[in-house]
Amino acid sequence: MRVAIVTHVVDRNDGQGRVNHEIVAAALAAGCDVTLVASRVAQVWRDDPRVHWHAVPEARLPTALLRYQAFAIASGWWLARQRHRFDIVHVNGFITWARADVNTAHFVHHGWLASGHYPYRLRDGARAAYQWVYTRLNARLERMAFRRARAVVAVSPRIVAELRATGVSEAGIEVIPNGVDTAEFAPGSVCRARFRLPAGVPLLLFAGDLRTPRKNLDTVLAALARVPEPVALAVAGQAAGSRYPRMAGELGLAQRVYFLGHVADMPALMRSCDALVFPSRYEPMGLVVLEAMASGMAVLTARSTGAAGLVPPGAGVVLDDPDDAVALAAAIRRLTADPGALRRMGMAGRAAMLAQGWDAMGERYLQLYRRLARRAEPAPPQAYLQAHQPDTDMTLKGDTR
């Protein structure tokens, strides 16, 4: 089977890139011929003679919106001429103007808009206006890309409803949750001194992009302010330019919150913490939740996080409202007061993740590829302009859904 995968990055150290990295490994193990249409590819695949890489250089343009469009046009042009070479073309959201057999929905911009937590407005300054335009344009382009795919993969059960809201038939949706490396993320020795974290105190972990309010560190800090010492919080993520260090100081938490910046060795950090706190306001999946459970950590999250649907009973706390700092504080107090309960939750999460490995995820993608390849008609080369035809209901005016 000849497979083309279209994505910006294929690498272990990238969220979406890690998923595609593992799909490549599974496809090669099954004897598939793999072509990557990407800007960056892990060295292991560049060195592998079985992998063909069509490099799409990263455009030197001023915004992500323009850079992504440049990638979409360049990859679409190439695929329009090469489509007949492949049995399966697998894309990720709106990433190319070419049609696809499989489209994986890692993020649904329409779902983020409709979540009730979308914070950006045109009138709130240049940055907010850019985000407003970026999200709405991507929502419409994704809708087109999802509708044109033969099968759409939801990386968590919660995305199914969001895909249906964009007009995707439920019959065309396949739920394949992301995997987790249960060997890399596993219980082990605690090494807090390495990260300059306090010993002998209950230690929570927050990990995520600190440039966006979507990850919801503000509610975590507000909840921690309601929890008495000595409970502390480690924050993994680039804090430069972030408002959260200042917010922690204003809440009187400067001595209890440790901003670690980018952490290269997340498995070691997770082994050193007691519980993950991740009540993201909108998260289609949330790989960090799976990694925490695989590491033997209890998790505190919210239903707005896709991975919450994979938290088994007894492995953590799932809040109804991600912005409920009072409820989150109560959960933190309850868990940190009972180290035995924390350990039991960690064991329950670890047991559940042993069946959630990358190999299992890769095999499910291969099964989908095989089903589609068996049903496929020989595909003639498509003209580039045909690949650019928008849906008849596409418009750049206000979202009415």
The pLDDT assigned to 376 comes to 64
Q: Angle at Cα 276 formed by Cα 272 and Cα 281, nearest 5°?
A: 155
DSSP secondary structure letters along 329-398: HHHHHHHHT-HHHHHHHHHHHHHHHTTSBHHHHHHHHHHHHHHHHHHPPPPPPPPHHHHTPPPTT--SS-
- Residue 25 CB: number of other CB atoms within 10 A? 17
The residue type of 276 is: L
Matching residue, tokens 């670690």:
260
Domain ranges of the chain: 2-179+357-387, 192-353
Structure-token pair, residue 327? 């409820």
Between CA 115 and CA 250 the distance in angstroms is 29
Name residue 275's beta-bridge partners: 204, 298
Between CA 53 and CA 91 the distance in angstroms is 15
| Mean pLDDT, the chain cut into blocks of 10 residues (401 residues total) | 97 88 97 97 96 96 96 97 96 97 96 91 92 96 96 93 92 94 93 94 94 93 95 93 93 96 94 96 92 96 92 94 96 93 94 93 97 72 48 38 32
The beta strand positions in 156-256, using DSSP E, are 173-175, 203-207, 232-236
The pLDDT assigned to 212 comes to 86
Matching residue, tokens 């502390």:
232
The residue type of 295 is: S
Tell me the pTM: 0.84
The pLDDT assigned to 249 comes to 95
The pLDDT assigned to 377 comes to 53
Q: How far is CA 355 from CA 29, 294, 367, in A?
A: 20, 10, 17
The pLDDT assigned to 395 comes to 35
The pLDDT assigned to 130 comes to 95
Q: How far is CA 161 from CA 93, 106, 108, 152, 306, in A?
A: 16, 14, 11, 12, 12
Q: How far is CA 373 from CA 49, 88, 230, 320, 367, in A?
A: 24, 7, 57, 41, 10
- Residue 329 CB: number of other CB atoms within 10 A? 19
Strand order in the sheet with 88-92: 51-55, 33-38, 2-6, 88-92, 102-105, 151-154, 173-175
Query: Any idea which fold 2-179+357-387 has?
Result: Rossmann fold (3.40.50)
End-to-end CA distance of the chain: 39
Query: Any idea which fold 192-353 has?
Result: Rossmann fold (3.40.50)
Let me know if the fold of 2-179+357-387 is the same as that of 192-353.
yes
